[in-house]
C-alpha cells in the first residue's frame, strides 16, 4: 500500500523544467545582429590592409624580379637610371637589427626574470615596472632624440648605425620584457616548488626548469619585437644618413637601410625612383613576414617537441 501511494505521489508531482530552455526569437535576433556587426567590423578592418598589401605587391614585384635586386647596390647610379639593387640597404637593416637584438635580448630577459622571480612587491620592482611601462609608450622619434643628445651631443660620438641600434634598443627592450614576463608567469608554481624541495638552488631552477619550459613563448616574443623595430624610420633620419653603397662599419659613416631608401627616393619623380620605393617597401614587408613566420614555426615545433 505504501509503495502504491509513493508511486502515485511521484507521478502526480510537477515535472521539473529542463535546464536548457528554448531560445526566444528576440534573443536569436540579437545574436544574429551581433554576429553580423562583428563580421562587418572584421571585413572593414581587413579591406585597407588587403588594399595596402595588394598595392605594395603589385608595384614592388617588378623590382624584386630584377636579377640584380638582391645582389647589387645603387652605387654609381643616377636618380633616373634603372637597375641596381637593394643589397646595401638590406645589409644595413640586418646589421642594425642584429646589434639591437644582441643588446636587447639579454637585457630584456634578465629584467623579466627579476620582476617575476625576485622583485615581489619591493620598491625597486615597482619602479622597474613603472619604467618599463613608460618605455612602452615612448615614440621612436623621442628615443632617437635621446640617443642623439646622449651619444652625439654629450659623448661627441659620430652619427652611425650603432647609434640607430641604441635607439632601437629603447624600443625593443620593453616589448621583450613584457612578453618574457608573461611567459614566465605561465609556468606553474608547482614546478618551482618541486625543484626547491629537491634542494636545487633558485638560480638553477630558473635556468633548468623555468626558462626551458617557457622558451617557445619567449623566442616568439623576441622575434615579434625585433620585427617591430626593424621598420622604424625616425632613428635613421636623426642618427645616420643614407648611403647608396655598402657600409659595414657600424661606428662611422652613412649607412643604407630599407626605410632609408624609401625616404631618399621620395623626391625622385622618375620611374626608377618609384620602382625603388615600392621595391624597398615590399622587401621590408618580406623581412618582417619572415621573422613572424619564424616565430610561429619555433613556437609550434617547440610545443610539438614537448608533447
The overall longest dimension of the chain from CA atoms, in Å, is 112
3-state secondary structure of 273: helix
In tens, the pLDDT along 45-70 reads: 999 999 999 999 999 888 888 888 88
How far apart CA 29 and CA 88 sit, in angstroms, is 59
Confidence of residue 145 (pLDDT cuts 50, 70, 90): very high
Express as a percent the part of the chain with pLDDT over 90.
29
How far apart CA 254 and CA 41 sit, in angstroms, is 44
pLDDT of residue 109: 93
What is the mean predicted confidence (pLDDT) over 74-100? 86
pLDDT of residue 7: 52
pLDDT for residue 17 is more than 80: no
Q: Which three cell numbers stand for residue 281?
A: 617597401
How far apart CA 217 and CA 226 sit, in angstroms, is 14
What is the mean predicted confidence (pLDDT) over 117-138? 89
Sequence spans of domains, the chain: 89-258
Domain 89-258: CATH architecture, name and number where available: Orthogonal Bundle (1.10)
Lowest mean pLDDT among 32-41, 68-77, 153-162: 68-77
Q: Which three cell numbers stand for residue 131?
A: 619604467
What is the mean predicted confidence (pLDDT) over 30-34? 89
Q: How far from 121 is each of 59, 110, 131, 178, 249, CA to CA, in Å?
A: 54, 18, 15, 17, 44
Contacts of 98 (CB under 8 A, 6+ apart): none
Amino acid at each position: 500500500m505504501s509503495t502504491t501511494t509513493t508511486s502515485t505521489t511521484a507521478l502526480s508531482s510537477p515535472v521539473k523544467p529542463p535546464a536548457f530552455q528554448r531560445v526566444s526569437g528576440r534573443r536569436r535576433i540579437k545574436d544574429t545582429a551581433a554576429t553580423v556587426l562583428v563580421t562587418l567590423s572584421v571585413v572593414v578592418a581587413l579591406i585597407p590592409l588587403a588594399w595596402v598589401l595588394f598595392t605594395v605587391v603589385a608595384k614592388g614585384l617588378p623590382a624584386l624580379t630584377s636579377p640584380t635586386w638582391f645582389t647589387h647596390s645603387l652605387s654609381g647610379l643616377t636618380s633616373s637610371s634603372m637597375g641596381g639593387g637593394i643589397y646595401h640597404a638590406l645589409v644595413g637593416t640586418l646589421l642594425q637589427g642584429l646589434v639591437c637584438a644582441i643588446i636587447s635580448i639579454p637585457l630584456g630577459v634578465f629584467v623579466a626574470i627579476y620582476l617575476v622571480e625576485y622583485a615581489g612587491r619591493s620598491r625597486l620592482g615597482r619602479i622597474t615596472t613603472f619604467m618599463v611601462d613608460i618605455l612602452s609608450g615612448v615614440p621612436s622619434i623621442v628615443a632617437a632624440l635621446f640617443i642623439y643628445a646622449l651619444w652625439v651631443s654629450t659623448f661627441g660620438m659620430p652619427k652611425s648605425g650603432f647609434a640607430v641600434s641604441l635607439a632601437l634598443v629603447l624600443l625593443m627592450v620593453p616589448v621583450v620584457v613584457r612578453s618574457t614576463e608573461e611567459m614566465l608567469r605561465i609556468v606553474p608554481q608547482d614546478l618551482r616548488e618541486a625543484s626547491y624541495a629537491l634542494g636545487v638552488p633558485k638560480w638553477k631552477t630558473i635556468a633548468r626548469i623555468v626558462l626551458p619550459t617557457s622558451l617557445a613563448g619567449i623566442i616568439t616574443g623576441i622575434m615579434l619585437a625585433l620585427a617591430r623595430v626593424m621598420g622604424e624610420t625616425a632613428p635613421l633620419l636623426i642618427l645616420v644618413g643614407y648611403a647608396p653603397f655598402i657600409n659595414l662599419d657600424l661606428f662611422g659613416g652613412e649607412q643604407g637601410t630599407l626605410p632609408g631608401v624609401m625616404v631618399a627616393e621620395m623626391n625622385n619623380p622618375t620611374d626608377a625612383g618609384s620602382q625603388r620605393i615600392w621595391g624597398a617597401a615590399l622587401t621590408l614587408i618580406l623581412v618582417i613576414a619572415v621573422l613572424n613566420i619564424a616565430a610561429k614555426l619555433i613556437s609550434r615545433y617547440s610545443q610539438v617537441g614537448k608533447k
